[in-house]
A = this chain, B = another copy of it.
Amino acid sequence: MHATKRETEILNTVRLKGSVTTMELAEMLGVTDQTIRRNVIPLVERGLVKKVHGAIVAPDRLLEAPFHRRMLENQDAKQNLATVVAATIADGDSIMLDAGSTTSYVAQALVDKKNLTVITNSAQIASTLAPNPTNKVYFAGSELRSDDSAAFDAQALKTFNQFDVQYAILSATALHAQRGIMVQKAHEAELSRMLISRASHVIVAADSTKFDRKSLISVCEFSDIQTLVSNEAPIGELAEALETNNVFVSTPNT
């Protein structure tokens, strides 16, 4: 294993876990801690990671935002279910991607697809998928909120409304047997409904911590969606509600 490959490994690990010790990296990559320190120098120079005594950490600006904290919560679960969602999408498909920590993982899992048409209201997702020259990426919205650099204004609705796509990939704050898909803010709900109305196949991506909870606003019934992708299969009442409404449930194991 050469230095360059180790650099990308280090970067990935730091981005995934937020921080990692020199020793952990040394063991993981089968070299001495000294070599790790040397490999980290160019990464620090490029501002991609930061060094503190005892560990390599992601730069502050990424960690401070609440959104980035959500990116770090349940990261394994989100990573896994993102892979499952990505497996559903084929080269050349057209998709709408809602803003959210889970959907950001989905976007990351889609970088190697080709010829995608992507419409999203998240600046982060847009700049993840736009650099691929085979893709066609549209940003929906104008006024960005600071939390996650995403737009939920009239312009966002208007842009989504112009398109008809194969898949809409939604995030959610809660899933509840009686109340269906739920989110925290009224304008998030409104936007989600727009995505649902413009896609022939609606995929909800939500990790199992969202199960059997309520949030503030109900976005839609389960009958309005086609697929739920999660890290675990739901059980009990929620599972029944999904089955009754013919929602296909997809998990890493199936």
Chain A interface (Cβ < 8 Å from any Cβ of B): 2-5, 18-19, 21, 52-55, 57, 61-62, 64-65, 67, 111, 123-124, 126-127, 130-133, 135-147, 149, 151, 155, 159
Contact = CB atoms under 8 A, between A and B. Distances in A.
B139 A142 contact: yes
Nearest to A68: B131
B159 A139 contact: no
**Assembly stoichiometry (copies):** 2
A106 to B, nearest CB: 16
A2 to B, nearest CB: 4
A133 B55 CA distance: 27
A126 B143 contact: no
Contact of A139 (B21, B141, B147): B141
Contacts of A132: 61, 146
Contact of A53 (B3, B64, B124, B143): B3
Contacts of A55: 2, 4-5
Given A138-B144, A142-B159, A2 B53 contact: yes
Q: Which of A64, A123, A124, A155: most chain B Cβ within 10 A? A: A123
A151 to B, nearest CB: 7
